[in-house]
Amino acid sequence: MPFSRNGLLVIGAGGMGLAIARRLGAGRRVFLADYSKDTLESAANSLRDTGHDVETQIVDVSSYESVKKLAKHTTSTSTLNTVVNTAGISPSMGTARQIFEVDLLGTANVIDAFLEVMPFGSSLTTVASIAGALYSSAITAELEQHLATAPKDKLLHHANIDLEGNAGVAYGISKRGNIVRVQASVKKAGTKGIRINSISPGVITTAMIRSELESEAGENVRQMVKTTPVPRAGSADEIASIVAFVSGPEASFVNGADFRIDGGYVASTRFNAPAGASEAT
């Protein structure tokens, strides 16, 4: 395969990943990576139908070796100046163990592998969730420090990380971990001329949210939409617009930030919640 100067990698080829690839991919070699071959091929074909240059690769983000292989390939065949990690599973899609392995450890694997090989001036963005903010009050300072800085081989070894526990709790801890892991990586990234940021979506219309709506948590999700100051679900295209800004030259001084795209939901719960209500509920 010939070398291409400009590369975009999107990890996670679902609705959000596809929207991001479509928004950022024009004129670039687009690398799509996902655990599911069917999801990957469907997204790739959709992009190819609109003229994008797309290459696909199966990846298991919970395996550092798999992620490292992806990093080696994408940086050896392009100048990979933009990486966006959207890989993740929600409480209705997996067990606590699977969520910790994919959402928490997977993000750490992506950060560690790509900070070693991305070129000066590049951008890495990972998709977290507003669950990371909503669950923050239930996380001790000691646990947060562990989530931010523990070596990846020890990341899942902590008294408060129950691999056999509640999937919703695992999701909240994992997404908080995504946010603080990005923040803790800023200094290392900066020495290499790489910017790293996170995006925390609220309720966004994707297959993941449709899965949640059909689960036991469905009524909670519908209530979130009703009580959001902008009373609707967001779209994958809106997330893609923020990612385009964060990863582009207009955001060259944006580093270590978390962008909350939730219609104001988290802010409204902070100052308008009933007395005694907990942010973590």
Percent of residues, the chain, with pLDDT higher than 90: 82
pLDDT band at 273 (very low <50, low <70, confident <90, very high): low
Separation of alpha carbons 274 and 251, rounded Å: 37
Q: Is the pLDDT of residue 2 over 70?
A: no
Q: Is the pLDDT of residue 17 over 50?
A: yes
121: left (phi over 0), alpha (psi -120 to 50) or beta: left
Interval 198-226 mean pLDDT: 80
pLDDT of residue 279: 41
pLDDT of residue 216: 72
Q: Is the pLDDT of residue 207 over 80?
A: no
Give the pLDDT confidence of 90-125 residue by residue, as tens digits: 998 999 999 999 999 999 999 999 999 999 999 999
Domain ranges in the chain are 4-206+235-262
Q: Is the pLDDT of residue 27 over 80?
A: yes
pLDDT band at 65 (very low <50, low <70, confident <90, very high): very high
pLDDT of residue 280: 39
pLDDT of residue 206: 76
Separation of alpha carbons 212 and 99, rounded Å: 14
pLDDT of residue 144: 98
pLDDT of residue 275: 47
Interval 209-235 mean pLDDT: 80
Q: Is the pLDDT of residue 276 over 50?
A: no
Interval 234-263 mean pLDDT: 97
Question: Would you name the residues annotated as active-site residues?
Answer: 171, 175
Q: Is the pLDDT of residue 142 over 90?
A: yes
Interval 140-157 mean pLDDT: 98
pLDDT band at 281 (very low <50, low <70, confident <90, very high): very low
**Mean confidence (pLDDT) of the chain:** 92
pLDDT band at 4 (very low <50, low <70, confident <90, very high): low
pLDDT of residue 217: 66
Interval 222-240 mean pLDDT: 90
* Least trusted range by pLDDT, from 29-38, 89-98, 223-232, 272-281: 272-281
CA distances for 218 relative to 105, 195, 262, 280, angstroms: 27, 36, 17, 17
Cβ atoms 109, 152 nearer than 8 A: yes
pLDDT of residue 205: 86
Separation of alpha carbons 36 and 21, rounded Å: 17
pLDDT of residue 224: 83
Q: Is the pLDDT of residue 270 over 90?
A: no
Domain 4-206+235-262 grouped into CATH 3.40.50.720:
yes
pLDDT of residue 225: 83
